[in-house]
Amino acid sequence: MPFVKRSVALKKEKIVQAQLLRHAKRREEETAANIRAEREQAEAKSVGFGRRIVKLQLLGEALWCDPCDQALSLRYLEEEERHGLASIFIVRCHNCLAVYKISTDSKVPSLHDSGRSLYAVNLKAAAGLQDSGLGVEPLNKFFSVLNLPPVYRSTIIRAQDRVGPVLAEVAKESCKEAILLEKNMALIASQSRRTFSESDKENAMEISPVLSDPDDPAPQDNHADVNSTPRRRRVTINDAVSIGVKFDMGWDKRGNGRSYNSHSGRGSMIGLHSNKILGYDVVSNYCRKCALGAKEDDHKCARNYEGSAKGMEPHSAVKLIANNPDLKEAGVVVGQFIGDRDSSTIAALRRECSTPIEKVVDLNHNMSGFNNALYKLKLTHKWLQTSYIAHLKRQLGYAIKQNKGDVQGVQAAIMNIEKHNFGEHEECGDWCKAKENPENYVYKGLPRKTKFSETDQPGWRAALHDLLSVQAALAHTLAPCGSTQQNESFNHMCVTRAPKSRHYCGTEANYFRVSAAVCEKNLGSTYTEAVFQKAALSPSAFRTREKLQHRKMVKALLQARPDIKARRLHNKMKNSWKAANHNEGLTYESGMGNAMERASAAASVDRAWLPDAPLLTDSCVPVIVDLETTGFQASDEIVQIAVKCGNKEKSWYLIPKKNIHPKARGTQRASFLPELLR
């Protein structure tokens, strides 16, 4: 091989690469041209075939020839111009042979001076996609089954850019109305010192808005001084109404406990009494067009956050609670914050807010943390089964819920869990039936349905005491029984509209879809009528969404009934799959495939070389072999091998590497004491 200079070789390599790029570009252009030609051919052939979405009244009025005073027929359709889901039919009159352009839908002018008009059906399709969570590809798949022509992505994007801001505007207005409703309900609750029912919420909604015109103040004979605050007057901290909010963050990419690298997230602030969204924030540290190299002046950048995914929650909380202009305009400050204990949100709020904020721990997140702590104890206390953990978790929930609002009562009830399970019932209430007959009382959720004991569970009481002491120290945050379940429900609504399997955070589509979820939460399923009215679109002619909203309300009432809850808990506790797993054996486990293949191969080996098993006769002497192990699992160690034949017996003992399980120790009446071997 002749010697070639490196510079010459690099030049030749660059020339070859440039040629390959030119050939690839030429092939792409030819392919695109062929696709365009095939598309034009298919469109030309599809004139008059398939199905179309039309506005019946508009089409019926347009199919008329005025000079002939006769109706036009689609049998004489010569050409079709498609604009998304709308079409323009070129129809020739069979009498005078005049050509008419007939549109299947009406155009909606732009809300601004600049911008072209779009067909209403395309705008409504974009709103439907944002509400249902579908994209253009699933929509076209659905259309292909119905034999409808496909719609291009660019058409839907233009329509979404028109409908999306209107959707966000409706969502913002609903949040402002929710703030006023929450303020009224907080005032009524502070005066009556009670919780709200649905009828109370309706009464609060009937109260006129607290922000009235300065020249026309609200009448003074309304409920207390709720409506006496003039509109847009400067509100000081002293006259601001303190409200409670629930806050939680949701991310568009699931974290596994070790990696939190989502590009976007959404924070929601929900009123304590109204359960409506008072504010929401969508953050993203990624922009698709910027990633492709587009200049910031050429597009509206979707990136509005520069930090990490873990810092999104305190960032959104400060923006929604401490720096929210809507709260200041309504004369409202946040005095109670309900959230989880997974982030530094409360520390950031107390640093930024000028008024004190009370922290209330979300009960569901707290129960989850207690459950995880019990599973960590299971590593050292092998006897601790899942059913025992569920029983202790249920007892903690009873202790908190039955003493709602009583901090000292919650503390005493939490610490009494330890005493009750160890057979000490002096501090138990009337609910405890063990006080009547402590000797025969059945502890249903505990091992062998008996109380805990230091003999059978060494070291367990101290571990349980430490765990319950941590919960008792948080009694002042647990006693209000706060919950962010409404936030979790809202996060689920957002996921249905912007699935985590799709990447929407690179554009404004993510913000628009979250806004659709806000409208659904605050206004119900019929929120689309408000969007259509603001976007100058025709209202819906069918009551489908009203029926959907009615079904949701009926379902919510049914799920809240005690008998339905009891039935749901009963079905959950049955766990019929446990028996099936036990009968089927090991069928699914990480990395078990190779082991099962080796076992199958070993079972299929020819065993002809093995001698036949001898037949049992009367002269055979039985030999009894017994094994004792450190526990009842397949991974436990053998500690004794015992053999007995007639009157003769012998045992071999092995020193295990770990302690004997308490249950196995009770049946074997033996224990391993390594200190005696030293």
Residue with the two structure tokens 């839908």: 105
pLDDT of amino acid 266: 92
pLDDT digits (tens, 9 = 90+) for 224-246: 343 344 444 444 445 688 999 99
Of 371, 388, 380, which Cα lies nearest the Cα of 459? 380
Residue 501 DSSP one-character state: T
**Using CA atoms, how far apart are residues 634 and 351, in angstroms rounded to an integer?**
55
Phi-psi domain of 406 (left: phi exceeds 0; alpha: psi -120 through 50; beta: other) = beta
Burial level of 415, CB count in 10 A (0-12/13-18/19+)?
A: middle
pLDDT at 268 over 90: yes
Confidence category of residue 491, pLDDT binned at 50, 70, 90: very high
Section 485-510 average pLDDT = 89
Helices (H) and strands (E) in the chain, counts: 23, 15
Confidence category of residue 449, pLDDT binned at 50, 70, 90: confident
**Using CA atoms, how far apart are residues 626 and 645, in angstroms rounded to an integer?**
12
Section 33-49 average pLDDT = 67
Confidence category of residue 257, pLDDT binned at 50, 70, 90: low
Section 638-649 average pLDDT = 89
DSSP string, 2-53: ----HHHHHHHHHHHHHHHHHHHHHHHHHHHHHHHHHHHHHHHHTTT-S---
pLDDT of amino acid 622: 86
pLDDT digits (tens, 9 = 90+) for 43-79: 555 566 888 999 999 998 999 999 999 999 988 888 8
pLDDT digits (tens, 9 = 90+) for 179-227: 999 999 998 888 766 555 555 555 555 543 433 333 333 333 433 343 3
Q: Which residues lie closer than 8 Å to 223 by C-beta, 6 or more apart?
A: 188, 207
Section 375-396 average pLDDT = 89
**Using CA atoms, how far apart are residues 279 and 267, in angstroms rounded to an integer?**
8
> What single-letter amino acid sits at 389?
I
Strands 86-92 and 99-103: antiparallel
Section 490-504 average pLDDT = 88
**Lowest mean pLDDT across 16-30, 195-209, 340-354:** 195-209
**Using CA atoms, how far apart are residues 339 and 248, in angstroms rounded to an integer?**
6
**Lowest mean pLDDT across 269-273, 311-315, 497-501:** 497-501
pLDDT of amino acid 232: 41
pLDDT of amino acid 209: 42
Section 167-187 average pLDDT = 93
**Lowest mean pLDDT across 20-29, 53-62, 275-284, 593-602:** 593-602
pLDDT of amino acid 109: 84
pLDDT of amino acid 210: 37
Order the strands of the 648-653 sheet from edge to edge.
Answer: 624-629, 638-645, 648-653
**Using CA atoms, how far apart are residues 54 and 106, in angstroms rounded to an integer?**
10
pLDDT of amino acid 216: 39
pLDDT digits (tens, 9 = 90+) for 522-545: 999 899 999 999 988 888 888 888
Q: Helix, strand or coil for residue 268?
A: strand
DSSP string, 526-571: THHHHHHHHTT-PPPSS-HHHHHHHHHHHHHHHHTSHHHHHHHHHH
pLDDT of amino acid 673: 52
8 Å CB contact between 168 and 527? no
pLDDT of amino acid 321: 93
pLDDT of amino acid 20: 81
Section 413-441 average pLDDT = 86
Q: Which two tokens stand for residue 162?
A: 């028109």
Distance of CA 373 to the CA centre of its chain: 24
Of 117, 520, 513, 138, which Cα lies nearest the Cα of 302? 513
8 Å CB contact between 364 and 483? yes
Section 110-135 average pLDDT = 84
**Using CA atoms, how far apart are residues 270 and 181, in angstroms rounded to an integer?**
12
Model-level pTM greater than 0.85? no
- The maximal CA–CA distance of the chain, rounded, in angstroms, is 122
pLDDT digits (tens, 9 = 90+) for 594-609: 666 666 666 555 556 5
pLDDT at 111 over 70: no
pLDDT of amino acid 638: 87
Average pLDDT score over the chain: 82
- The share of the chain scoring above pLDDT 90, in percent, equals 33
